[in-house]
Amino acid sequence: MATTAFELEGFRTTKHVGIVRGITVRSRSIFGTVGASLQTLVGGNITIFTELCEKTREEAFELMMQHAAQLGANAVVGVRYDATEVMQGVTEVLCYGTAVVVERSA
């Protein structure tokens, strides 16, 4: 379970495990860049970049959840994303939050 909130409704936090993160670094391929450039001529959503961004965020999220599980957590609260351009055409995406152990509230 994961949420951007700092608590999960219907659950009680029994332990704070610590900060967890998932980091992935992606680059655009020359084909993707050319395809996206052609899409900009028509305007609208640049689907090639949208798909790349979505896959990158999903990968960072999954890595964060794996990190939480390795530490014994069953949930992550306060989930956030951050992105940094490492160099032209190369972007780091970080997904982070606080790993916790939760149980259903009575």
Residue 37 confidence (pLDDT): 55
Output the pTM of the full model: 0.82
Residue 78 confidence (pLDDT): 98
Is the pLDDT higher at 31 or at 4? 4
**Distance (Å, rounded) from C-alpha 22 to C-alpha 97?**
9
11-104 belongs to which CATH class?
alpha beta
Cβ atoms of residues 13 and 74 within 8 Å: no
**Distance (Å, rounded) from C-alpha 16 to C-alpha 82?**
22
3-state secondary structure of 7: coil
Q: What is the pLDDT of residues 10-31, one digit of tens each?
A: 999 999 999 999 999 987 655 5
In order, the DSSP letters of 55-100 are HHHHHHHHHHHHHHHHTT-SEEEEEEEEEEEEETTEEEEEEEEEEE
